[in-house]
Amino acid sequence: MMGKLYGIGLGPGDPGLVTLKGFRILQVADVIFAPKSEKGEVGIARSILRQILPEKECLELAFPMVRDLRQLEQHWGEAADIVAAKLAQGLTAAFVTLGDPLLYSTYNYLLEALRRRNAHISVETVPGITSFSAAAALANLPLVEGDERLALLPAAAGPEAIAQALKAFDTVVLMKIGSRLPQVRRLMLSLDQAADAVFVSRAGLEGEAVVRDISQVQDDHLGYLSVVILRRRKEGR
């Protein structure tokens, strides 16, 4: 009997944002994997697990942040082999990610590597709270209402694409800010007349910051684990 793989979104940091279903699966999983790749992410996924299930062990899988596609595929392949080996033993495995597993997450690469191996395994994905939903909640800020439109961009899209998106979309969410925080701040300042902006860093974690006046975003704010929500200004708002 082959085991089953669950991809489980832990939400962006607050252990309370794990879903009931995700929690129940983690309780009974034979083995829990967490990605080791992104700066800081391991610590946080592990820390969430430790808070909700202190007795459970968690194995790290390496997903290094290298640019070379062949090297990357090799790493993903090795991770897929480790997971597939556990499933071949008939075990139930959970792979946890921050946020939602299918939204900018290493889980996508794991799934792809498993597919490429033609491993006929049973996979179930349990969605997670996205960092932008958590950020909007902390600011009590509507993301979209009525017939509004939302664009989700990585900061790497660049200032031009972001300003362009603000013309066609009511809300623009910037993710994967990382070391681009200074550029993002400059852009936010330049858009000051066109949009209301909220910067949220480390939602639900120690050092959480919700900053509405962008000039107050400091250099010591972490770009990693931060989100910017831009709301286009409208007449009468």
For 143-171, b/e burial (b = at least 16 CB within 10 A) is beeeeeeebbbebebeeeebbebbeebbb
In whole angstroms, how close is the CB of 147 to a second copy at the nearest point?
5
- Indicate the residue among 122 and 215 with the shorter CB distance to a second copy: 122
C-alpha–C-alpha distance, residues 213 and 199, integer Å? 8
- Indicate the residue among 22 and 31 with the shorter CB distance to a second copy: 22
Q: Smallest Cα–Cα separation from 197: which of 133, 141, 147, 134?
A: 141
* Residue carrying structure tokens 């400059």: 186
- Indicate the residue among 62 and 218 with the shorter CB distance to a second copy: 62
Q: CA dihedral in degrees (13, 21, 229, 154; nearest 10)?
A: 80
Binding site for a second copy (CB under 8 A): 7, 9, 11, 14-21, 23-24, 52, 100-105, 108-109, 111, 123-130, 133-134, 136-138, 140-154, 156-157, 161, 164-165, 168-169, 176
In whole angstroms, how close is the CB of 48 to a second copy at the nearest point?
11
- Indicate the residue among 169 and 199 with the shorter CB distance to a second copy: 169
In whole angstroms, how close is the CB of 94 to a second copy at the nearest point?
14
